[in-house]
Amino acid sequence: MILTLTRRALMGTALAFGLAGAAAAQDFPDRAITLVIPFAAGGSTDVVGRIVADRMSQELGQQIVVQNVGGAGGSLGAQQVAKADADGYTILMGTVATHALNPLILKQKPYDPVADFAPVSLLVLVPNVLAVNPALPVNTVQELIDLAKKEPLAYASSGNGTPLHLSGELFKTMAGVDITHIPYKGSGPALTDVLGNQVPVIFDNLPSASSHISSGKLKALGVTTAERAPSFPDVPAIAETLPGYETYSWNALFAPAGTPPEVVETLASAAKTAMADPAVVARMAEFSAEIVASGPEELAEHVKAEMTKWEPVVVEANVSLD
């Protein structure tokens, strides 16, 4: 009899928790949401994240608070979200670094890019750009290659193992040059040093570098996509000098694994509406970010495809990190 009552009590408790969880999902969101940007302020992911967070806040009726958690090529911020409560109130602005490159490069795996996250929406595809301080006496990709063969040069990136780092390594391999890599904790700090001419060359995301290119504080030599970027049609593609060269970045929303499907769908729907807003479309067009605004299933497939695509690049560049 006691055993029967205990079972009934357990069943009742489980049912109560299940109903409470369902009610919480239906009421989502009823408080502020934290969007973790896994890089320092000022970079491409930060720029896109803040634009999206602002518009999604309007759609959801609750503020999305941006939290920058830089370091380890995005792994620290991603790990924080992977370990967060699976209730939708802590989400990640993921990138090719957090969900394709780090899992391939890091010897110690702080999280699983598939098992530890619930995909929400692939937001945008983002071109990268090769740029230099105007004091460097080069105006084209070929002139940079020629200079690098004559004297030592260094390039900055947002961190070890990031797509910008690998964009530089792929460039070095294809151009047959040796340019020293200087990693930073995000595009913001890297840009600061290149603008100050502490480092002459940078591989950066186009969104974070675009205003400096437009103002003349940076000289863009080439975009990393196969075609020229619509927002900077006068800037050649690096592939015009190095045929076959192509890299790009992307931004996507992820929640912790186990987040209720209804919550994921609410977030994905808000993201899709936000990305369709004419003001957001115009902002993204300023730096040639291609809007995707996918659903969760499409993002899951994208992550798998990206890991497959980048694995041979990582192997060729011989990049691994502790």
| Domain match, 280 and 258 both | yes
Residues 119-149, buried b or exposed e (16+ Cβ, 10 A)? bbbbbbbbbbbbbbbeebebeebeebbebbe
| Domain match, 160 and 194 both | yes
Q: Distance of CA 2 to CAs 10, 16, 33, Å?
A: 12, 21, 44
Is residue 21 in some structural domain? Answer: no
Specify the pLDDT at position 22.
Answer: 57
| Domain match, 44 and 87 both | yes
Specify the pLDDT at position 4.
Answer: 46
8-state DSSP, 228:
-
| Domain match, 95 and 196 both | no
User: Tell me: the pLDDT tens digits for 260-285?
Assistant: 999 999 999 999 999 999 999 999 99
Domain count, the chain: 2
- Read off the pTM: 0.79
Arithmetic mean of pLDDT over the chain: 91
Domain of residue 275: give its range.
Answer: 31-126+249-308
Residue 184 · residue 165 · CB < 8 Å: no
* Pick from 213, 251, 252, 218: nearest CA to 231: 213
Is residue 18 in some structural domain? Answer: no
- What is the torsional sign of CA 129, 132, 133, 138? negative
For the cut 50, the answer to whether the pLDDT of residue 53 exceeds it is yes
| Domain match, 109 and 255 both | yes
Is residue 84 in some structural domain? Answer: yes
For the cut 80, the answer to whether the pLDDT of residue 96 exceeds it is yes
Half-sphere exposure of 321 (CA within 13 A, CB side): 19
Encoded tokens for 257: 């694994």
What is the secondary structure of 14-83 as a DSSP string?
HHHHHHHHHHHHHH--SS-EEEEESS-TTSHHHHHHHHHHHHHHHHHTS-EEEEE---GGGHHHHHHHHT
* Pick from 61, 48, 63, 72: nearest CA to 121: 48
Provide the CATH number for the domain around residue 188. Answer: 3.40.190.10
Is residue 317 in some structural domain? Answer: no
Q: Read off the pLDDT of each residue in 246-262 and give the average, rounded to a whole number.
A: 95
The domain boundary, picked from 191, 208, 240, lies at 240
User: Tell me: the pLDDT tens digits for 112-142?
Assistant: 999 999 999 999 998 999 999 999 999 999 9
The structure tokens 């863009």 sit at 220
| Domain match, 203 and 253 both | no
User: Tell me: the pLDDT tens digits for 1-14?
Assistant: 444 446 565 555 55
Provide the CATH number for the domain around residue 108. Answer: 3.40.190.150
Side chain identity at 43, as an amino acid letter? G
Encoded tokens for 39: 């890089």
